[in-house]
């Protein structure tokens, strides 16, 4: 049985042009361990280049994070992106706020994140497609580390 979401190793493995060809116009992008490492203060040059390529391909991007306002603003502002903190993913409210910010229908939006029980679950609850990336690093919130142990039971092929 094929899973209802895509799994890729990292952002750079996602081809923005392919998403556009499939009707995607907007991205809801997770922050920690998707766009940059949990302790990092800026995305890698590769991921910054990917964000630029995605926008050049016509995709609008909103950052959606369970992390706090100052951290999300610190990452979003230099990239010129709208960031929504304290999202309480997987609850739908944050995803719906992000969708409203994009001004798009659920089927035009793809959610990209590193966690099954926040990013993928929330996307699915809201009728959006989801793309699961491998977490950039092992460090994360204690609750997230607990979720990762459960993820490994569901997705044994995950590395981290």
The footprint of Mg ion (CB under 5 A) covers 30, 32-33, 114
Query: Residue 56: which residues within 8 A CB-CB, separation 6 or more?
Result: 16
As measured in angstroms, the least distance from the Cβ of 23 to Mg ion is 25
Distance CA 116, CA 159 (A): 14
Give the nearest distance from C-beta 20 to Mg ion in angstroms.
24
Whether residue 90 has a cis bond before it, omega within 30° of 0: yes
Minimum Å distance from CB 32 to Mg ion? 4
What's the rounded Cα separation, in Å, for the pair 43 and 148? 22
- The CA-based diameter of the chain, rounded to the nearest angstrom, is 42
Q: Which is nearer to Mg ion, 54 or 132 (CB)?
A: 132
Nearest distance in Å: CB 33, Mg ion:
4
Residue number, 30 or 60, with CB nearest to Mg ion: 30
CB atoms within 10 A of CB 49: 13
Q: How far is the CB of 143 from Mg ion (least distance, A)?
A: 12
Query: Residue 22 and residue 36: Cα distance in Å, rounded?
Result: 26
114 vs 151 by CB, closer to Mg ion: 114
Cβ distance to Mg ion smaller for residue 33 or 47: 33
* CA–CA gap between residue 28 and residue 109 (Å, rounded): 7
Nearer to Mg ion, 17 or 46 (CB): 46
């Amino acid at each position: 049985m094929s899973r209802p979401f895509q799994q890729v190793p990292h952002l750079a493995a996602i081809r923005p042009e392919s998403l556009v060809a499939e009707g995607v116009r907007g991205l809801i992008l997770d922050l920690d361990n998707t766009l940059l490492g949990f302790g990092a203060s800026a995305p890698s040059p590769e991921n910054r280049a990917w964000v630029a390529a995605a926008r050049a391909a016509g995709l609008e991007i909103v950052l959606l994070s369970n992390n706090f306002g100052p951290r999300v603003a610190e990452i979003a502002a230099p990239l010129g992106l709208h960031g929504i903190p304290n999202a309480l993913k997987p609850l739908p409210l944050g995803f719906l706020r992000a969708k409203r910010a994009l001004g798009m229908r659920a089927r035009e939006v793809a959610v990209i994140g590193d966690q099954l029980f926040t990013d993928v679950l929330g996307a699915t609850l809201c009728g959006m497609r989801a793309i699961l990336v491998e977490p950039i690093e092992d460090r994360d919130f204690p609750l997230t580390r607990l979720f990762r142990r459960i993820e490994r039971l569901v997705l044994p092929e995950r590395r981290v």
